[in-house]
Amino acid sequence: MAKKSLIHREKKRQKLEQKYHLIRRSSKKEISKVPSLSEKWKIHGKLQSSPRNSAPTRLHRRCFSTGRPRANYRDFRLFGHILREMVHACLLPGATRSSW
**Domains of the chain, CATH where assigned:** 1-59 (no CATH), 61-99 (4.10.830.10)
Which pLDDT value is given to residue 29?
A: 93
pTM for this entry? 0.71
According to DSSP H, which parts of 2-52 are helical? 4-33, 37-48
pLDDT digits (tens, 9 = 90+) for 19-60: 999 999 999 999 999 999 999 999 999 889 999 999 999 988
Phi/psi at 96 (5° precision): -105, 145
